[in-house]
Amino acid sequence: MQDTTAVLVVEDDASVRDVLDMVFAQEPGIYYTIAAGGANGIAKLAEGPPDVILTDLLMPRVSGVEVIQYARERYPGIPIIAFSAKPVGDLEGTEQRIGGELVSFLSKPFDLTELLERVRVLAAERSWRANIGT
């Protein structure tokens, strides 16, 4: 198991980005990049895959669903945690299919301890990297 985890955070709301910045900055072994919105997230993904993607679903211009679709086209199987302030049925704490592949889902506001645990669990599963040759 690798000692470090690379996380890409894609969020349009500055206050949520600030909270996630504070949380991840205090976590040893988690290295993170924050993208302000979907277009910036896709640009970061074009540079290479992180170990886990954390993305808001509802963003203007380029949505989280578009970020997820882009990520899955380039990096099949990459672990993704999606979140939204809007209720999406009874999805809290479950995995959902977006673009045919499972995505872990959280509703805002989410429990930060649970978020960190999910990031670590998903990052530990690295078999998807064999699909991209890295």
pLDDT of the residue at 93: 44
Any domain includes 36 = yes
pLDDT of the residue at 88: 55
Residue 126 has pLDDT above 80, yes or no: no
Any domain includes 54 = yes
Element (H, E) at 97: strand 95-98
pLDDT of the residue at 1: 45
Mean pLDDT of 97-113: 75
Burial class (CB in 10 A: 0-12, 13-18, 19+), 122: buried
pLDDT of the residue at 91: 44
Any domain includes 134 = no
The overall pTM is greater than 0.95: no
CA angle, corner 87, sides to 95 and 90, nearest 5? 45
CA angle, corner 98, sides to 17 and 109, nearest 5? 35
**Cα–Cα dist 103/94, whole Å:** 8
Question: What is the domain extent for residue 54?
Answer: 5-129
Residue 4: how many other CB atoms lie within 10 Å: 10
Closest CA to 119 of 27, 14, 44, 12: 27
Give the total number of structural domains in the chain.
1
CATH assignment at residue 37:
3.40.50.2300
pLDDT of the residue at 50: 95
pLDDT of the residue at 101: 62
Q: Which is more confident, 91 or 108?
A: 108
pLDDT digits (tens, 9 = 90+) for 44-71: 999 999 999 999 988 899 998 899 999 9
**What percent of the chain has a predicted confidence (pLDDT) above 70?**
84
